[in-house]
Amino acid sequence: MILERIVVGAYGANCFILADENEPDKPAMVVDPGGEAERIYKKLMDEGITCQMIVLTHGHGDHIGGVEKLKKLTGAKVLIHHEDEVMLKDAAINLTAAMNGPKVAFAADRTIGEGDKLTIGKISIDILHTPGHTRGGICLHIPAEKLLISGDTLFYGSIGRTDFPGGDYKALINAIQTKLMKLDDETVVYPGHGASTTIGYERRKNPFIQG
Ligand SMILES: [Zn+2]
Ligand SMILES: [Zn+2]
């Protein structure tokens, strides 16, 4: 499996390319193309990777700014949790109306929810619904690789903000405790901003998760 991180946009969002290098044309998903679609696309082209789907961990502007252009370039379908779908269509709700840069409003091609499985080549990805940062926030779990893409739900030593519309501190803590903390300690976590971590490290050191 190929996992590449590209830091995009003014807010330094982590965009991930997840590809199966053992299949012809290296099928892939791009997670959270928050901006700089041409740069992401060039990386795909340079490495012979085929983007089959664009998956959004949630509907905030810093994670969705490059979606429309990347979709145009690749023809990939756009997926988001059904409770965050509404955010894509409204620049006020996805916060791009208040951010520097273009206002973003578009429709998803497909909505997803808790327990759904996505497949890229031979890689199986489980969708975990982790509300709290937004109502429809998700994490992507790849059990075979012990790998989690956590969006703005869980960060290295921290957790997502809950002061935006749709935010809910209790829901966020509950989602982290019941869905993420049951994963193996060795699971490597790739958040929507900043450095990677592990479930074991966060279980022991994250001040929001203790007790
Ligand atoms: Zn966010
Ligand atoms: Zn973010």
Q: How far apart are CA 44 and CA 66, in angstroms?
A: 14
CA 71 to ligand 2 center in whole angstroms: 20
CA 63 to ligand 2 center in whole angstroms: 6
Query: In this structure, are strands 147-151 and 138-142 parallel, antiparallel, or unpaired?
Result: antiparallel
Per-residue DSSP letter, 9: T
Q: How far apart are CA 156 and CA 176, in angstroms?
A: 13
Find, among 28, 44, 47, 2, the residue nearest to 121 by Cα: 28
Q: How far apart are CA 52 and CA 19, in angstroms?
A: 10
pLDDT digits (tens, 9 = 90+) for 30-64: 999 999 999 999 999 999 999 999 999 999 999 99
Tokens linked to 198:
């592990």
User: Which ligand number lies closest to the CA of residue 167?
Assistant: 1
CA 193 to ligand 2 center in whole angstroms: 6
CA 145 to ligand 1 center in whole angstroms: 25
Q: What is the pTM of this model?
A: 0.97
Contacts of 111 (CB under 8 A, 6+ apart): 79, 80, 81, 82, 85
CA 127 to ligand 1 center in whole angstroms: 17
The single residue listed with the structure tokens 């940062």 is 133
CA 1 to ligand 2 center in whole angstroms: 25
CA 25 to ligand 2 center in whole angstroms: 30
**In tens digits, what is the pLDDT along the chain, a chain of 211 residues?**
999 999 999 999 999 999 999 999 999 999 999 999 999 999 999 999 999 999 999 999 999 999 999 999 999 999 999 999 999 999 999 999 999 888 999 999 999 999 999 999 999 999 999 999 999 999 999 999 999 999 999 999 999 999 999 999 999 999 999 999 999 999 999 999 999 999 999 999 999 997 5
